[in-house]
Amino acid sequence: MLEAEACGVAGAAVGHADAWARVRGRLKADLGDEVFSCWFAGMNVEQIEGGTVWLSVPSRFLKTWISTHYRDKLAALWQAEGPAYRKVEVSVRSAMRAKVETPARFAAPEAARPASAPAPRAAVPLRPVADAASARLFDDISSPLDPRYTFENFVEGASNRLALAAARQVADGSASGVKFNPLYIHSSVGQGKTHLLQALTHRLKAEHPEMRVLYLTAEHFMYRFVQSLQTQSALAFKEALRTIDLLVIDDMQFLHGKQIQQEFCHTVNTLIDGARQVIVAADRPPVELETMDERVRSRLSGGLLIEIGAPDAATRRSIIERRIALTAQHMPGFSVPDDVIDFIVRNVTTSGRDLEGAVTRLAGHNQLTGLTLSLTMAETTLKDLIRVTDTRRVKIEDIQRVVSKHYNVSKQDLLSSRRTRSIVWPRQIAMYLAKSLTLRSLPEIGRRFGGRDHTTVLHAVRKVEEMIGSDEALTQEIEVLKRMLEA
């Protein structure tokens, strides 16, 4: 709070400080202590000039929220203090400091500003808050959206038909009510979950600008939450989250931390109980989110679960053709011979991301060498990708299933903290297989094996590698397991 003495100026400044104290007092009395401390505890008066009261807050989010919801009230309270206060302007503190060079907050006459300093922006006239403006507030905290991820650019196929239909229904029918809540889409990597989630977000923003839609990756959700704690605006952040119409959370498997998961759970409960839509995407079904709070898992399991599978040949071909057409827009004349397309369709079988990667590589090669694309060239250029594709085909859950069956232990035991040798050894073999047959990182494998640390996984991988070198029977056993998994 800004006190008169903190201003270091006398006279008018003291009058302004008294006015600010009264405005704060009335805000507190009208809104209650909780709401007041939520939004206004960190607000300062930076400057009063030409009838405009320049207020500052610690974050962009607070600025937008206060401007959208409380600007009229603030202005009315200041206007009641006298004709010297006609308008209010709210800025983010650091931005405001950069804009107004002088630290003498209440006394910054025009002449005192250095010529190099830009003049403060003209104060925005007081105006009623439009619904669309309130909805746009969430653009500030949303994760970035890729403009190419639209329904028009999404290729429909047998493997994704249900997910696409559900996403379309949310995008088209949300105005008329919530149908399935939460909607939970899962698949292995690169199958178009993010594309679909962003497509429906784009569609709603374009066709229902009044709706408050928030798209966040789990990592952004965590970041925003931690940031709000640091700027003492956590209550405000939570309150804002609970006012949205549609919450879209991507890459749910990365939501870590007990407090954050609990907060997420409260938010989802509030939204669903208020008949507002929640959509979540992850790389596995809720029951397999091992590090997730049990309440979150059960809430997510209670909605509509849809899996996107690997694309069939026809879908792969359409994704490749779409990608070639998009590439040709900025590389005029770019085309790919049919036998090369057939080659990619046959050999890159796992995901849309790999198919796009194949086309991007060919385009890059073509651009750099100027050589015409041929089958031989494609075979060489895409060799890695095809090998990688083979590697990615194996899923951790398949490894856990095959290993538990082979060693006659349950999957729960594999994921548990039990340390008897009959369980520890199969668990270590399963971790070793996960490292050699998938592209998952050590921390990711650790998380999938009951939330273990990456050093535990590393230890298991090294131990099995050592044993393989000296134990012929084990080497054969592992070969058998690998063949079963790759079949």
352 lines the binding site for ligand ATP (CB under 6 A) = yes
User: Cβ(164)–Cβ(309) under 8 Å?
Assistant: no
155 lines the binding site for ligand ATP (CB under 6 A) = yes
Q: Which of 398, 402, 404 is nearest to 416 (CA)?
A: 404
Q: Using CB under 6 A, which residues numbered 278 to 297 contact ligand ATP?
A: 283
In the bound state with ligand ATP, the residue whose beta carbon lies nearer, of 192 and 426, is 192
Minimum Å distance from CB 149 to ligand ATP? 6
356 lines the binding site for ligand ATP (CB under 6 A) = yes
Residue environment code for 35-69, b if the CB has 16+ CB neighbours within 10 A, otherwise e: bbebbbbbbbbbbbbeebbbbbbbbebbbbbbbbe
Of positions 64, 174, 187, 228, contacts ligand ATP by CB under 6 A: 187
193 lines the binding site for ligand ATP (CB under 6 A) = yes
315 is in an annotated binding site: no
The rounded distance, in Å, linking the Cα atoms of 447 and 252 is 13
Minimum Å distance from CB 485 to ligand ATP? 21
190 is in an annotated binding site: yes
Of positions 38, 218, 319, 340, contacts ligand ATP by CB under 6 A: 319
User: Cβ(412)–Cβ(290) under 8 Å?
Assistant: no
The stretch near ligand ATP (CB under 6 A) out of 50-58, 152-160, 359-367, 410-418 is 152-160
Minimum Å distance from CB 272 to ligand ATP? 23
194 is in an annotated binding site: yes
**Interface mask (CB under 6 A) for ligand ATP, residues 247-266, using x and -?**
----x---------------
Q: Residue 92's beta-bridge partner residues? A: 57
CA angle at 324 for the pair 322 and 329, rounded to the nearest 5°: 100
Q: How many H helices and E strands in the chain? A: 23, 8
- Structure letter (DSSP) for residue 450: T
Q: What are phi and psi of 182, to 5 degrees?
A: -80, 160
Minimum Å distance from CB 339 to ligand ATP? 23
Pairing of strands 44-49, 52-57: antiparallel
The rounded distance, in Å, linking the Cα atoms of 416 and 108 is 65
In the bound state with ligand ATP, the residue whose beta carbon lies nearer, of 16 and 322, is 322
Minimum Å distance from CB 63 to ligand ATP? 32
The rounded distance, in Å, linking the Cα atoms of 471 and 358 is 40
8 is in an annotated binding site: no
CA angle at 100 for the pair 95 and 101, rounded to the nearest 5°: 115
192 lines the binding site for ligand ATP (CB under 6 A) = yes
Of positions 353, 393, 463, 482, contacts ligand ATP by CB under 6 A: 353
Minimum Å distance from CB 283 to ligand ATP? 5
Write out the binding residues for ATP: 190, 192-194
- Residues contributing to the site for ligand ATP (CB under 6 A): 149, 153-155, 160, 187, 189-195, 251, 283, 319, 352-353, 356
Write out the binding residues: 190, 192-194
